[in-house]
């Protein structure tokens, strides 16, 4: 149960949650400038790559896909934070979700924007990315819908559209309230976004139905998106990629890293925006338990994937498997297992140890572990192809590392700006009468 | 030989690995014929060298009774090419004569085709190509120069095929077996490579492909390659 709504008058809730919108502390400015600088550096690196050619990245034959696609899968995975928390909890009417939904949905939208950029950054001729869209053209050329990359384009653009709508819908009553209190450009912004919301019974009814509907749709889309991302790999004939487990494995991994990202963001905004009364240990406890569950599911899938490959003992698969668990990729593999399983299992599995701090620590290690997981799925398979004569090793260059790091800064910048413009915790859901609407 | 102009060709190659000496003449000839970009030692070490045909070495037996087997590997022009369905923009497809062709202008550089090629015979243009002088003056005018960001690979010297077909058509006669020779086949001093029409049951390549010595590389993947490797059955 949302504790704040029980004990606090609505006016006080509103004051609390609107406070971060006005003014900016010097700490906020410093962090914003720093993150923007890192993001800008990433842009410089990308500009350099566009100017010189994709060869400034470390990718090579036979490892044609490198950091960019690792980041792509990672960020699309992060985007599952919003969907799971908000859509599942909304559909099941879990009352405790209220203070965390918007924070989660914002992660989804921003992570998708970032993740969706990587396939473009990765292109040899990035300026022609629009050739992947089915637009009318004089040569009557269509994209190839048999290609999993086209499924990607379709799934991700659908997901991005859907999650923007899903973020926007519950924002309408909030911006409508804000527009009556704000002045200047903010008033204009909020009034425009509120779409003429007056708060009539009919509008509430329509909004409630739209949110329920979107929650159902977005859930289906989210599962399909990460399945399609997995199919980029499993539709190929490459050893260890061509696996039927990849679809569900990727979905589980995505939700796993999504919850971790949400926990990290929640503990940051809880401290910096003084939301201790709204994001309570209760929320962290619930999400930590979900994280633990996903960690166990992840372990199950990882064991299932690797055990079958090892037992089958096919030479081509074994060269990839061997490189992963005892070859040159082994350190990353065992760090991944430590980060994704050992840390959450100990810190969150033992009830005495479970706290906001340990949940945050476990989430950070899970994020590291899940990034490594994507790395370990993509690179070893390409390094150890079917003909040993064409084996080769990949190392990223400063361009790839800069762009990768910069995207985390972009996430920070987008989040900082968003939290300055809109209440990061949905305000209207604390309104007493809205309780009755559900 | 008993072909009319209307008959569709189906180009294929036979490579006799018992004859191949590993001299790499095919590699050099391919470079000159197809305007392949050059690479220096450093970029080659970084996996950026482009050779549409390469000579893989396999060692058989225990030292000192060692036998080296050479296997020139080029695009296998698979009938069921794994590279084709994965391209999102149809930059690679099967042309009517069974060639797996690459449309440079259409390629956006996702590199998915190269990942999905089990033979690793696809090459990417990481930068715009450069030729140190005077090599920049010896380009083959029949072959386009590829820009940065696109994939390229063996074409079975499609420019030679097209020219021969055009000439035969003008002279109103069928193409003779052996009339078309890709640069690698032409330059092979051991005559280990044979190129021709697989639709013509009398052609040399058809007969070699049917012989008991014929195998295909990684054919268990169901790719149905059109390059046949001949070796002693032991």
The two three-digit tokens of residue A54, written as one number: 């994709």
The percent of residues in chain A predicted with pLDDT above 70, rounded, is: 97
| Greater pLDDT, B50 or A138 | B50
Q: What CA–CA distances, in Å, run from A136 to A133, A141, A142, A261, A408?
A: 9, 8, 8, 39, 36
Average pLDDT rounded to a whole number, residues A189-213: 90
pLDDT at position A431 = 76
Q: Which residues of chain B neighbour A118 with C-beta distances below 8 Å?
A: none
Instruction: Note the pLDDT tens digit of each residue in B30-76.
Output: 999 999 999 889 999 999 999 999 999 999 889 889 988 899 999 99
- pLDDT beyond 80 at B24: yes
> Do the beta carbons of residue A329 and residue A63 sit within 8 Å?
no
Ordered by start, the domain boundaries in chain B are 11-230
Task: Please report which residue ranges of chain B form alpha helices under DSSP H.
Answer: 25-33, 41-45, 83-86, 112-115, 158-170, 183-187, 204-210
The mean pLDDT of chain A is 90
> Do the beta carbons of residue A68 and residue A45 sit within 8 Å?
no
Instruction: Note the pLDDT tens digit of each residue in B186-228.
Output: 999 999 999 999 999 999 999 999 998 999 999 999 999 999 9
Average pLDDT rounded to a whole number, residues B156-177: 94
- pLDDT beyond 70 at A200: yes
Q: Which of A58, A128, A150 shows the shortest C-beta gap to B108?
A: A128
pLDDT at position A438 = 40
pLDDT at position B217 = 94
The percent of residues in chain A predicted with pLDDT above 90, rounded, is: 66
Distance CA B131, CA A53 (A): 17
- Structural domains of chain A sorted by starting position, each given as residue range(s) with its CATH number in brackets: 3-132+141-437 (1.20.1630.10)
pLDDT at position A1 = 42
Distance CA A144, CA A342 (A): 43
B120 to A390: CB separation less than 8 angstroms, yes or no: yes
User: How would you classify residue A343: left for phi > 0, otherwise alpha for psi between -120 and 50, otherwise beta?
Assistant: alpha
Residue of A nearest to B151 (CA): A124
pLDDT at position B7 = 63
B126 to A149: CB separation less than 8 angstroms, yes or no: no
Q: What is the DSSP string of A370-407?
A: HHHHHHHHHHHHHHS-SSGGG-------HHHHHHHHHH
| Greater pLDDT, B233 or A165 | A165
Distance CA B215, CA B17 (A): 11
Q: Which residues of chain A neighbour B105 with C-beta distances below 8 Å?
A: none
pLDDT band at A306 (very low <50, low <70, confident <90, very high): very high
Cβ within 8 Å of A, B 79-108: 82, 85-90, 106-108
Distance from CA of B48 to the nearest CA of A (A): 6
The H or E element containing residue B223 is: none
Distance CA A202, CA A208 (A): 10
Q: Are strands B54-60 and B67-73 parallel, antiparallel or unpaired?
A: antiparallel
Average pLDDT rounded to a whole number, residues B76-92: 95
pLDDT at position A433 = 56
> Do the beta carbons of residue B107 and residue A125 sit within 8 Å?
yes
B120 to A131: CB separation less than 8 angstroms, yes or no: no
| Greater pLDDT, A303 or A186 | A303
- pLDDT beyond 50 at B2: no
Interface residue B180 vs chain A (CB under 8 A): no
* CATH number, span B11-230: 3.30.70.20
Interface residue B46 vs chain A (CB under 8 A): yes
pLDDT at position B162 = 94
Residue of B nearest to A142 (CA): B89
Q: What is the DSSP string of A71-96?
A: HHHHHHHHTHHHIIIIIIHHHTT-GG
> Do the beta carbons of residue B11 and residue B75 sit within 8 Å?
no
pLDDT at position B4 = 47
What residues have CB less than 8 Å from A375, skipping those under 6 apart? A70, A332
Distance CA A191, CA A419 (A): 18
Query: Quick count: other Cβ atoms within 10 Å of Cβ B233?
Result: 8
- Kindly compute the dihedral angle of the four CA atoms of residues A201, A204, A205, A207, in this order, to the nearest 10 degrees: 160
- pLDDT beyond 60 at B6: no
pLDDT at position A7 = 59
pLDDT band at B234 (very low <50, low <70, confident <90, very high): low
Distance from CA of B124 to the nearest CA of A (A): 8
Instruction: Note the pLDDT tens digit of each residue in A21-40.
Output: 887 888 999 999 999 999 99
How long is chain A?
438
pLDDT band at A428 (very low <50, low <70, confident <90, very high): confident
| Greater pLDDT, A141 or B81 | B81
B148 to A146: CB separation less than 8 angstroms, yes or no: no
Distance CA A196, CA A205 (A): 15
- pLDDT beyond 60 at A4: no
- pLDDT beyond 50 at A216: yes
Distance CA B9, CA B95 (A): 11
Q: Nearest Cα to A148, choosing from A246, A63, A240?
A: A246
A52 to B85: CB separation less than 8 angstroms, yes or no: no
Distance CA B230, CA B209 (A): 8
Instruction: Note the pLDDT tens digit of each residue in A364-389.
Output: 999 999 999 999 999 999 999 899 88
Q: Chain A to chain B, count of Cβ pairs less than 8 Å apart?
A: 133
Average pLDDT rounded to a whole number, residues A109-132: 94
Distance CA B122, CA B82 (A): 12
Average pLDDT rounded to a whole number, residues A265-274: 90
| Greater pLDDT, A82 or A218 | A218
Query: Quick count: other Cβ atoms within 10 Å of Cβ A438?
Result: 10
Q: Which residues of chain B neighbour A51 with C-beta distances below 8 Å?
A: none
pTM of the model: 0.93
Q: Which of B57, B120, B127 shows the shortest C-beta gap to A53?
A: B127
Give the best residue of B72, B104, B118, B146 to mutate against chain A (max A CB count within 10 A).
Answer: B118
Q: Cis bond leading into B134, ω under 30°?
A: yes
Q: Which of B108, B115, B125 shows the shortest C-beta gap to A129?
A: B108
A61 to B120: CB separation less than 8 angstroms, yes or no: yes
pLDDT band at A435 (very low <50, low <70, confident <90, very high): very low
Q: Which of B57, B108, B218 shows the shortest C-beta gap to A125?
A: B108
Query: Quick count: other Cβ atoms within 10 Å of Cβ A127?
Result: 11
Average pLDDT rounded to a whole number, residues A190-213: 90
Specify the long-range contacts of residues A369-373, CB closer than 8 Å, at least 24 apart. Answer: A369/A335, A369/A336, A369/A337, A369/A338, A369/A339, A369/A340, A370/A74, A370/A77, A370/A253, A370/A256, A370/A257, A370/A260, A370/A340, A371/A70, A371/A74, A372/A332, A372/A333, A372/A335, A372/A336, A372/A339, A373/A253, A373/A336, A373/A340
The H or E element containing residue A114 is: helix A98-122
Distance CA A11, CA A16 (A): 9
Q: Nearest Cα to B120, choosing from A55, A64, A112?
A: A64
Distance CA A234, CA A244 (A): 7
Distance from CA of A278 to the nearest CA of B (A): 45
Q: Nearest Cα to A291, choosing from A107, A81, A3, A71?
A: A81
Q: Which residues of chain B neighbour A60 with C-beta distances below 8 Å?
A: 46-48, 126
Interface residue B24 vs chain A (CB under 8 A): no
> Do the beta carbons of residue A163 and residue A218 sit within 8 Å?
yes
> Do the beta carbons of residue B200 and residue B36 sit within 8 Å?
no
Q: Which residues of chain B neighbour A387 with C-beta distances below 8 Å?
A: 56, 73, 118-120, 218
β-partners of residue B92 are: B102
Distance CA A39, CA A16 (A): 31
Distance from CA of B203 to the nearest CA of A (A): 30
> Do the beta carbons of residue A387 and residue B56 sit within 8 Å?
yes
The two three-digit tokens of residue A285, written as one number: 């406890």
Average pLDDT rounded to a whole number, residues A180-194: 87
Angle at the Cα of B151 (from A227 to A148), degrees rounded to 5?
15
A64 to B124: CB separation less than 8 angstroms, yes or no: yes
pLDDT band at A16 (very low <50, low <70, confident <90, very high): confident
Residue of B nearest to A120 (CA): B110
Residue of B nearest to A390 (CA): B120
pLDDT at position A33 = 96
Cα(first)–Cα(last) distance of chain B, in Å? 33
A→B interface, C-beta within 8 Å: 52-55, 58-65, 119, 122-125, 128-129, 131-132, 141-144, 146-150, 153, 232, 235-238, 382, 385-387, 389-390, 392
């Amino acid at each position: 149960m949302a504790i704040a709504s029980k004990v606090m008058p609505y006016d006080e809730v509103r004051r609390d949650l609107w406070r971060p919108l006005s003014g900016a502390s010097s700490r906020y400015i410093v962090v914003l400038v720093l993150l923007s600088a890192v993001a800008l550096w990433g842009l410089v690196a990308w500009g350099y790559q566009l100017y010189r050619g994709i060869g400034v990245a470390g990718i090579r034959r036979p490892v044609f896909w490198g950091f960019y696609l690792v980041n792509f899968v990672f960020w699309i995975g992060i985007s599952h934070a919003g969907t799971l928390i908000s859509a599942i909890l909304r559909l099941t009417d879990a009352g405790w979700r209220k203070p965390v939904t918007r924070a989660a949905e914002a992660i989804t939208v921003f992570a998708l924007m970032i993740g969706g950029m990587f396939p473009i950054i990765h292109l040899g001729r990035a300026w022609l990315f629009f050739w992947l869209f089915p637009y009318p053209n004089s040569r009557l050329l269509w994209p190839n819908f048999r290609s999993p990359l086209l499924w990607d384009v379709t799934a991700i653009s659908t997901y991005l559209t859907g999650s923007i709508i899903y973020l926007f819908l519950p924002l309408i009553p909030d911006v409508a309230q804000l527009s009556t209190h704000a002045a200047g450009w903010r008033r204009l912004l909020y009034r425009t976004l509120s779409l003429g919301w007056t708060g009539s019974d009919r509008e509430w009814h329509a909004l409630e139905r739209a949110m329920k509907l979107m929650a159902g749709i977005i859930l289906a889309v989210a599962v399909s998106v990460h399945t399609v991302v997995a199919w980029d790999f499993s539709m190929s004939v490459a050893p260890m990629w061509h696996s039927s487990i990849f679809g569900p494995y990727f979905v589980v991994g995505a939700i796993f890293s999504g919850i971790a990202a949400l926990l990290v963001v929640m503990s940051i905004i809880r401290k910096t925006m003084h939301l201790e009364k709204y994001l309570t240990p209760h929320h962290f406890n619930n999400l930590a338990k979900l994280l633990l569950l996903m960690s166990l599911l992840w372990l199950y899938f990882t064991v299932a994937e690797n055990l079958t490959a090892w037992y089958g003992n096919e030479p081509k698969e074994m060269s990839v498997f061997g490189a992963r668990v005892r070859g040159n990729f082994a350190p990353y593999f065992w760090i991944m297992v430590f980060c994704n399983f050992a840390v959450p299992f100990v810190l969150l599995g033992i009830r005495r140890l479970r706290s906001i701090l340990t949940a945050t620590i476990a989430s950070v290690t899970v994020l590291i572990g899940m990034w490594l997981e994507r790395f370990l799925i993509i690179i070893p398979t390409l390094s150890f192809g079917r003909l040993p004569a064409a084996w080769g090793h990949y190392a990223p260059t400063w361009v790839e590392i800069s762009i990768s790091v910069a995207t985390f800064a972009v996430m920070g910048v987008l989040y900082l700006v968003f939290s300055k413009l809109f209440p990061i915790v949905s305000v209207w859901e604390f309104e007493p009468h809205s309780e009755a609407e559900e | 030989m008993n072909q009319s102009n209307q008959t569709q060709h189906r180009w294929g190659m036979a490579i006799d690995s018992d004859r191949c000496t590993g001299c790499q003449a095919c590699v050099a000839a391919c470079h000159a014929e197809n305007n392949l970009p050059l690479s220096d030692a450093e970029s080659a070490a970084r996996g950026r060298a482009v050779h549409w045909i390469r000579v893989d070495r396999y060692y058989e037996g225990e030292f000192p009774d060692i036998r080296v087997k050479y296997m020139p590997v080029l695009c296998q022009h698979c009938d069921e090419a794994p590279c084709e369905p994965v391209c999102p923009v149809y930059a690679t497809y099967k042309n009517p004569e069974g060639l797996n062709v690459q449309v440079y202008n259409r390629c956006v550089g996702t590199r998915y085709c190269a990942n999905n090629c089990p033979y690793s015979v696809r090459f990417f243009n990481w930068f715009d190509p450069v030729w140190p002088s005077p090599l920049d003056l010896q380009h083959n005018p029949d072959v386009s120069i590829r820009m940065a960001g696109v994939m390229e690979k063996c074409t079975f010297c499609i420019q030679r095929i097209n020219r021969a077909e055009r000439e035969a058509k003008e002279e109103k006669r069928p193409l003779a077996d052996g009339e078309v020779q890709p640069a690698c086949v032409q330059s092979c001093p051991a005559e280990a490579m044979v190129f021709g029409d697989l639709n013509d049951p009398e052609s040399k390549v058809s007969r070699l492909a049917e012989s008991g010595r014929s195998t295909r590389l990684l054919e268990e993947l169901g790719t149905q390659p059109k390059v046949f490797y001949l070796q002693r059955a032991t």
